[in-house]
């Protein structure tokens, strides 16, 4: 029951574990070990996603070509159907994400 334990260092693909789930929400831990989204592929999700990087490092790309670098503690709200992809995760250590998928968002996208 600790996000920083049982972290594989080499994975054939990203490791996704559902930590808790309700009717309209899903909380996942995701571990990436240098993974990125396949070339030309984009995520286009039905649900909103709030995501935080807890360890490691990543770069996300959005369909308007905006690129966001994320370090531990950095968090972001990705509204439903905002097309995005993982351009890069560090190969130096596992990247641990926490992702919360949910419906009917309020709040502002990429507010600083």
Nearer to a second copy, 38 or 46 (CB): 46
Residues 6+ apart with CB under 8 A from 65: none
What is the total residue count of the chain? 112
* Nearest distance in Å: CB 37, a second copy: 22
Nearer to a second copy, 16 or 19 (CB): 19
* Structural contact between residues 80 and 41, judged by C-beta atoms closer than 8 angstroms: no
Tokens of 15: 């490791």
Nearer to a second copy, 44 or 103 (CB): 103
Instruction: List interacting residues with a second copy (CB under 8 A).
Output: 1-5, 19-25, 27, 48, 50, 52, 54, 71-77, 98, 100, 102-107, 111-112
Nearer to a second copy, 43 or 102 (CB): 102
* Nearest distance in Å: CB 39, a second copy: 28
* Nearest distance in Å: CB 41, a second copy: 25
* Structural contact between residues 98 and 54, judged by C-beta atoms closer than 8 angstroms: yes
**How far does CA 95 lie from the centroid of its chain?**
10
């Amino acid at each position: 029951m600790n996000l920083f334990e049982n972290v594989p260092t080499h994975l054939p693909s990203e490791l996704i574990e559902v930590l808790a789930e309700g009717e309209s929400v899903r909380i996942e831990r995701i571990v990436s070990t240098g993974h990125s989204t396949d070339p030309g592929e984009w995520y286009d999700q039905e649900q909103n996603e709030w995501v935080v990087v807890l360890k490691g490092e990543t770069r996300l790309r959005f369909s308007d070509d905006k690129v966001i670098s994320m370090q531990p503690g950095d968090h972001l709200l990705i509204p439903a159907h905002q097309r995005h992809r993982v351009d890069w995760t560090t190969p130096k250590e596992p990247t641990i994400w926490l992702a919360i998928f949910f419906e009917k968002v309020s709040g502002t996208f990429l507010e600083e």
